[in-house]
């Protein structure tokens, strides 16, 4: 039986164990992650935590609605057993009607007939020399050119530097200050748990690009990549991704590029030899 359980009544140890041991585990669904990024969240739980579906929600003008918080690409159903379309539909039917609007981005194993969104992933279980053969000609050319310069430095960076960099550069998205604060709090939490890392690139001793990646089970997520105009012009995002691929070669890790539906960004991620992974946007209003 699927039950709706409020956050305060969830057995967090059992909930997190389900997320951790699910074949489709995603870091976004862990309680420590949702406690930071979601305004509120409860969960639907099957039997004794055999499967769970977190429900992040907000309230506006006394109207409650389920929404995808910032920094959570794929939520939905997580199960200790095989996920079937029927199981997903049963969870959807169990969403309480008090939520007058529901928007959920279901993970790639929750196959439902709804809007499809694109993500790209790359398995890192081969030598770097082999993985690099999957790069397109332009990516190889850029790396060859960059490798001939001596003023480029890659290093593990601090949260203070990341925060300063984030606040200084132009973004292709708008974000409220409270969401920025959630991001910085999230990064600190994940770094403290050894589930996150900030990697930056300097040119002539000045940081021009950085990325915050998450590390959860066998998945590396390209959560927050950033670069200055100079960094983009000098192709520093290419260096960062190539560095991650080199560092994690010959492991069971998967590099999750976390996007994208934007053609130019999608083309960039595809240029590393990545594969398409589709996930699903579900939306419903109760009138």
Residues 87 and 148 grouped into a single domain: no
Residues 234 and 147 grouped into a single domain: yes
Confidence of residue 172 (pLDDT cuts 50, 70, 90): low
How much is the pLDDT for 150? 64
How much is the pLDDT for 147? 63
Q: Return the closest-CA partner of residue 237 out of 281, 282, 271, 262.
A: 271
**Considering the entire predicted model, what is its pTM?**
0.95
Residue 215 has pLDDT above 70, yes or no: yes
Instruction: Note the pLDDT tens digit of each residue in 63-73.
Output: 999 999 999 99
Residue 63 included in any domain: yes
Residues 79 and 134 grouped into a single domain: no
How many Å apart are CA 125 and CA 275, to the nearest integer?
14
Helices 137-146 and 236-247: angle between axes, nearest 10 degrees = 90
How many Å apart are CA 143 and CA 201, to the nearest integer?
14
Give the total number of structural domains in the chain.
2
Residues 177 and 267 grouped into a single domain: yes
How much is the pLDDT for 169? 86
Among 113, 129, 145, the domain-final residue is 113
Mean pLDDT of 160-169: 94
Residues 138 and 261 grouped into a single domain: yes
Burial 42-54 (b: 16+ CB within 10 A, else e): bbbbbeebebbbb
CA triple 231-164-203, angle to 5 deg: 30
How many Å apart are CA 101 and CA 51, to the nearest integer?
23
Instruction: Note the pLDDT tens digit of each residue in 245-259.
Output: 999 999 999 999 998
The mean predicted confidence, pLDDT, of the chain is: 95
How much is the pLDDT for 219? 98
How much is the pLDDT for 205? 87
Residues 11 and 133 grouped into a single domain: no
Confidence of residue 149 (pLDDT cuts 50, 70, 90): low
Residues 97 and 131 grouped into a single domain: no
Residue 283 included in any domain: no
Residues 170 and 251 grouped into a single domain: yes
Residues 130 and 227 grouped into a single domain: yes
Residue 156 included in any domain: yes
The CATH number of the domain holding residue 186 is: 3.40.630.30
Residue 287 included in any domain: no
Confidence of residue 129 (pLDDT cuts 50, 70, 90): very high
Compute φ and ψ for 161, nearest 5 degrees. -65, -40
Among 113, 138, 170, the domain-final residue is 113
Residues 71 and 98 grouped into a single domain: yes
Residue 182: give the domain boundaries.
118-278
């Amino acid at each position: 039986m699927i039950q709706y359980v409020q956050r305060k009544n969830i057995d967090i140890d059992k909930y997190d164990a389900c997320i951790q041991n699910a074949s489709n585990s995603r870091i976004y669904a862990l309680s420590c992650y949702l406690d930071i990024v979601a305004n509120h969240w409860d969960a639907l739980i099957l039997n004794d935590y055999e499967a769970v579906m977190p429900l992040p929600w907000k309230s506006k003008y006394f109207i409650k609605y389920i929404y995808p918080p910032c920094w959570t690409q794929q939520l939905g159903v997580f199960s200790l057993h095989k996920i079937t379309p029927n199981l997903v539909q049963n969870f959807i039917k169990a969403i309480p009607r008090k939520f007058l609007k529901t928007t959920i981005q279901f993970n790639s194993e929750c196959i439902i007939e709804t809007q499809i969104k694109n993500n790209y992933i790359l398995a890192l279980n081969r030598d770097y020399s082999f993985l690099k053969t999957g790069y397109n000609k332009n990516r190889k050319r850029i790396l060859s050119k960059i490798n001939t310069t001596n003023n480029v430095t890659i290093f593990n960076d601090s949260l203070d530097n990341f925060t300063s960099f984030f606040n200084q550069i132009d973004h292709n998205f708008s974000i409220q200050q409270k969401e920025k604060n959630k991001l910085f709090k999230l990064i600190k939490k994940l770094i403290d748990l050894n589930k996150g890392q900030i990697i930056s690139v300097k040119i002539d001793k000045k940081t021009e690009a950085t990325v915050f990646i998450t590390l959860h089970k066998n998945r590396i997520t390209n959560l927050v990549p950033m670069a200055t105009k100079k960094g983009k012009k000098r192709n520093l995002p290419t260096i960062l991704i190539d560095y991650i691929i080199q560092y994690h070669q010959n492991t069971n890790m998967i590099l999750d590029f976390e996007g994208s539906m934007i053609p130019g960004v999608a083309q960039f991620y595809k240029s590393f030899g990545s594969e398409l992974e589709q996930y699903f946007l579900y939306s419903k209003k109760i009138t």
